[in-house]
Structure 1
Amino acid sequence: MLIGIIGGTGSQGLGIAKRLAIADFDVIVGSRKEEKAVRVVEEANSDISEYTSNKMVGKANEDAARDADLLILTVPLEAQIATLKTIKEFVKGKIILDATVPLETAIGGNVSNLLHVNPGSAAERTAKFLANEDVKVVSAFCNISNFHLANIPEPIDCDCLICGDDAESKEIASEIIEKIPDLRVVDIGKLEKAHLIESITPLLIGLNIKYKSHYGGFRLTGIDFE
């Protein structure tokens, strides 16, 4: 499967890209400008060369969306709709994992506060914007720290909460995500639950700031998910 990371040159997107490349997925890292994607990917391939011979490629977001089988959206809220506009014609029938978190920083606020958006969550915004494209949106990766993703080759001792309206898409997403060592997927239900997942991120950011850490995570206990 060819995976396209849309807006993938930031810390979150690049961390996901590296982890998936090490897990032997073919990965395209997208950016607004192809030159930036190519430059960043060249360095990133060097960073992971001791862990895999697999090579990521860099492309413009539009080309990444066109060529990939599955997309992961890793942009800040303020760039979400603008980015979706550029790739809309290339996403028909595809699965999109949306990692967007509506933080107050989008309007100059506090990084540890959630911004309430219409129609309820960032993931639902994506689904609404692409409603005519037969896209299956899954909220995913929102509660996984960028520092965890970048801490290669250490496993990620966290749960990755996901939600979405299409069961098959969530199964595919889970299979991909759980290729990252120790990262466990927990499906919390329909896409309308995405606001609950997204709200965990500012909570974790605030806790990391308070306790001077970068690796705060989330692990559910006491439930048999098998």
Structure 2
Amino acid sequence: MKVAVIGGTGPQGLGIAKRFAIEGVKVIVGSRKEEKALTLVDETKKELKGYDLNMVGMANEDAAKEGDILILTVPLTAQKPTLGGIKEFCTDKIILDATVPLETAIGGKPYRFIDLMEGSAAERTEKILEGTGAKVISAFCNISNSHLANIPNEINCDCLIAGNDDEAKNIAAELINKLPGVQTIDCGILEKSRVIEKITPLLIGLNIKYKSHYGGLRITGIPQFEQK
């Protein structure tokens, strides 16, 4: 299984790519410009030279074509054009969407949320990819870049996911649970992404208030995702 991180050269995307590669997953780092992806992959391999990383860099379109599971890690403003560029390669694939509609997209505060016509960024992705058979799952919205970059320490957070396809969520959970310290919590249908995404600006606000970079979320009293 190859995981393609679309928009994988930003802090979130590269952090996710590094974490999965360390766990032995075949990772493709996608970027709008192939050269940038290749450069960052080369730098990552030097940075993490103690690990045997199976990681390559490609343009987003090539990454989407080659990847079995795609992880979308782009800002809200880049969501629509990025998906438009890779749509033809998304047929019947699982798409993990980490997009959060923050007010920074329009020059506002990072702890404020933008309400989208579709209800959530993940539902917007589903709408854009309509007709491809892609299974869209909201994921990684609430795990901070600092946690991802804090290698080799465990990620002390839950990963809340939501999607309409149970089989796709099973596959996604098996992948996500490879990350040390992460527990996957199934929140239900994709519509639940409206709530999941709104948790992120709250966490950002708390990190600002308490001068932290590691504020995260743990759900208590609920079992970790169980494959069906």
**Taking structure 1 as the reference length, what is the TM-score of the superposition?**
0.98
Distance 1:180 1:200 in 2: 21
Amino acid at match of 2:36: K
Q: Does 1:198 align with 2:165?
A: no
Amino acid at match of 1:9: T
Q: Is the 8 A contact 1:99 1:139 kept in 2?
A: yes
Q: Is the 8 A contact 1:6 1:74 kept in 2?
A: yes
Distance 2:70 2:47 in 1: 23
Identity over the aligned pairs, expressed in percent? 63
Q: Does 1:120 align with 2:124?
A: no
Distance 2:48 2:116 in 1: 37
Distance 1:103 1:81 in 2: 15
Corresponding position of 2:163: 164
Corresponding position of 1:146: 145
Partner SS, residue 199 of structure 2 = helix
Distance 2:76 2:150 in 1: 25
Partner SS, residue 198 of structure 2 = helix
Distance 1:118 1:171 in 2: 29
Amino acid at match of 1:28: I
Distance 1:168 1:81 in 2: 26
How far the C-alpha of 1:118 sits from its partner, in A, is: 1.5
How far the C-alpha of 1:45 sits from its partner, in A, is: 1.6
Amino acid at match of 1:6: I
Distance 1:6 1:63 in 2: 10
Q: Is the 8 A contact 2:25 2:54 kept in 1?
A: no
Unaligned runs of 5+ in 1: none
Amino acid at match of 1:25: V
Distance 2:184 2:155 in 1: 12
Distance 2:45 2:80 in 1: 29
Amino acid at match of 2:7: G
Q: Is the 8 A contact 2:23 2:179 kept in 1?
A: yes
Runs of 4+ in 1 over 6 A off after TM superposition: none
How far the C-alpha of 1:55 sits from its partner, in A, is: 3.0
Partner SS, residue 95 of structure 2 = strand
Amino acid at match of 1:15: G
Corresponding position of 1:44: 44
Distance 2:132 2:172 in 1: 19
Amino acid at match of 1:103: L
What is the RMSD of the two structures over their aligned residues, measured on CA atoms?
A: 0.8
Q: Is the 8 A contact 2:160 2:196 kept in 1?
A: yes
Distance 2:48 2:178 in 1: 16
Unaligned runs of 5+ in 2: none
Distance 1:154 1:17 in 2: 15
Q: Does 1:28 align with 2:23?
A: no
Corresponding position of 1:175: 174
How far the C-alpha of 1:223 sits from its partner, in A, is: 2.7
Distance 2:137 2:47 in 1: 29
Amino acid at match of 2:180: P
Corresponding position of 1:13: 13
Q: Is the 8 A contact 1:45 1:55 kept in 2?
A: no
Distance 1:223 1:92 in 2: 33
Distance 1:223 1:172 in 2: 20
Amino acid at match of 2:39: R
Q: Does 1:60 align with 2:59?
A: yes
Distance 2:60 2:194 in 1: 26
How far the C-alpha of 1:195 sits from its partner, in A, is: 1.0
Amino acid at match of 1:126: T
